[in-house]
Amino acid sequence: MKIKELPEKTLKRLIIYLKVLENLDKQNIDFISSEDLAKRCGVNSAQLRKDLSFVGSLGTKGVGYSIRSLKFRLKNFLGRTREWNLILGGVTPLGIFLLENTNLQKEGFYFLAAFDINEENIGKIYNGISVYSLDQLSYILNVIKVDIGVIATDENPHLYLKAFTDQKIKAILNLSKIPLFLEDPEIRIENFSFLIALTKLSYFLKEIKDEN
């Protein structure tokens, strides 16, 4: 099926290409060259063509890429032509923000339920999504099919991770400030926090200061 494993960095760039193509499509542009698209994505054109070659042979020699068609092929390749069901672990301000965020729904990511371990949060409803006790997870999963578990609390993220993976959830978005890792290659964890992003910037700023 796959000829060669897709490099992580290529995956990240493909996602960017898709987003940039979606914006170009809105502007009613039909065709684009690798040169032009690459510039808009902050990479060079050879890189872009090599990255796209993982997806297939998508362009027309002498012409370039059809924006609409490339967008569709990329979207499909990235698993974004279908919808995915999510659950939330941790009804924090960040968690509530995600439940109430309609943007993710527009992109095909649907929160179906939220879970918490604090009694006072259980039974609440945000944007039509109910909060259950984490103990009830396996019971609820009899009724709904879940693809991705999102952890949004700094208080015991491991607890949610264990509950989710025990229930055979294979994809985890960890937004807690504690990075999480598992040996199991069957389970994919994406660790992200604002703090990581801000620290990259603080390193950069410190470096430019030290140079002067």
Partner DNA sequence: AAGTGTGAACTTTTTCACAGCT
Partner DNA sequence: AGCTGTGAAAAAGTTCACACTT
* Residues found near a second copy in the complex (CB under 8 A): 1-2, 6, 11-12, 15-16, 18-20, 23, 40-42, 77-80, 84, 93-94, 97-98, 100-101, 103-104, 107, 109, 147-148, 154, 170-173, 177-179, 181, 186, 188, 190-192, 194-208, 210-211
112 binds, among a second copy, DNA, none (CB under 5 to 8 A by kind): none
Among residue numbers 36 through 65, which ones bind DNA (CB under 7 A)? 43-47, 49-50, 52-53, 57-65
Sorted by sequence, the CB contacts under 8 Å of residue 16 that are 6+ apart come out as 41, 42
The CA distance from 103 to 110, in Å, is 10
Q: Bridge-partner residues for 116, per DSSP?
A: 133
Chosen residue from 16, 22, 33, 170 binding DNA by CB under 7 A = 33
Q: Are 179 and 199 in contact (CB under 8 A)?
A: no
Using DSSP, state whether 70 is helix, strand or coil: helix
59 binds, among a second copy, DNA, none (CB under 5 to 8 A by kind): DNA
Instruction: Give strand ranges (E) for the chain.
Output: 31-32, 65-66, 84-89, 109-116, 125-126, 129-133, 148-151, 171-174, 188-191
46/144 with CB nearer DNA: 46
Q: Are 89 and 63 in contact (CB under 8 A)?
A: no
125 binds, among a second copy, DNA, none (CB under 5 to 8 A by kind): none
Q: Interface with DNA by CB under 7 A: which residues?
A: 5, 7-10, 33-35, 43-47, 49-50, 52-53, 57-65
